Amino acid sequence: MNSPSDRSPRSRECAQAVVALGVGLAVAGCSQGAPRPVLTPDVVWDAGPPSGEIESDPWVRAVRAGELAYATATNVADFSDPSMTATWSRNTIVWFGSLASGRLADGTARVVLGPMPFTALAVDVEGDGARATVLGCAAGLATDPDESSALEREQWPQAYSYLLELDEDGHRRIVGAGRFQEEYKLPSGENLTDETCADVDIAHGLFEPAPSLADLKKLGSDDVIVPEPDPSPTS
């Protein structure tokens, strides 16, 4: 299960790939020292993994894969793994990298204990099938340390949504995600709101073994890795 993801050697492209991405972000393959393999750990679910017919929907599966990749990438400060680049848009990845770099610089780095707890309730595919919104309820990331305020904890679970696009390479990528505050009627007839979500079961999964905060904090803000830019930058 624990297999290093495929990392193609990139040292030759490195010389040309010195691209500034905001503050102190290393481009994949250009970091100094030994490469850090991105291992996707096992996830142990409190009451079984998310299930139901909707879980077989390709858009929902892309969200699951994306959240697992995000949590994994955050814990090792490496967002360049194919598991990440195949599930999130470049804009989102660069932004995550920049936030991670800032946290390491500020000494506020944290590990994510498991993928975002999320129950999918609806998939809204746009006409041409190239774009979809996955809607449901999310319970918020469990982190170590947990600096969230009481005020913030009160805001979870909340109505949550993912916007995805089917790219030309056949991958469905998350281009945006966040609290859902618009009007949406679920297949059940109810509106999707934070109140609705209070009554929805949300499966929580934790990485086994738990990620190491100490290991993450050994890294500096320059050690965060983001993928090389596309030759033709798009989203």
Q: Is 151 in the site for another protein (CB under 8 A)?
A: yes
| Under 8 Å between Cβ of 86 and 193 | no
Choose one: 39-47, 50-58, 175-183, 193-201; the region binding another protein (CB under 8 A).
Answer: 175-183
User: For residues 131 and 114, is the Cβ–Cβ distance under 8 A?
Assistant: no
User: Residue 45: how many CB atoms within 10 A of its CB?
Assistant: 14
* Residue among 20, 34, 47, 214 that touches another protein (CB under 8 A): 20
For 62, the token pair is 């892309």
What phi and psi values does residue 69 have, to the nearest 5 degrees? -65, -40
Q: CA angle 19-71-60, nearest 5°?
A: 105
Of 40, 83, 92, 119, which one interacts with another protein (CB under 8 A)? Answer: 92
Phi, psi of 182 (to 5 degrees): -95, -175
What is the closest distance, in whole angstroms, from the C-beta atom of residue 150 to another protein in the complex? 9
Residue 141 interacts with another protein (CB under 8 A): yes or no: yes
| From 20-28, 51-59, 77-85, 197-205, span contacting another protein (CB under 8 A) | 20-28
Compute the distance between CA of residue 225 and CA of residue 223 in angstroms, rounded to an integer.
6
Token code pair at residue 221: 């803000």
Q: Is residue 198 involved in binding another protein (CB under 8 A)?
A: no
Query: Measured from the CB atom, is 188 or 235 closer to another protein?
Result: 235
Q: Single out the residue of 14, 17, 21, 30 in contact with another protein (rule: CB under 8 A).
A: 21
Q: Phi and psi dihedrals of 166, rounded to 5?
A: -90, 115
- Binding of residue 177 to another protein (CB under 8 A): yes
Q: Does 116 bind another protein (CB under 8 A)?
A: yes
Among residues 156, 192, 202, 227, the one that binds another protein under rule CB under 8 A: 156
Which residue number, 7 or 86, has a Cβ lying nearer to another protein?
A: 86
Read off the tokens for 126.
């746009």
**76-80-81 Cα angle (round to 5):** 80
Q: Copy the structure tokens of residue 214.
A: 């100490």
Chain positions contacting another protein, by CB under 8 A:
18-23, 74, 89, 91-92, 94-96, 98-99, 102, 105-106, 108, 116, 133, 138, 140-141, 143, 146-149, 151-153, 155-156, 160-163, 165, 175-182, 235
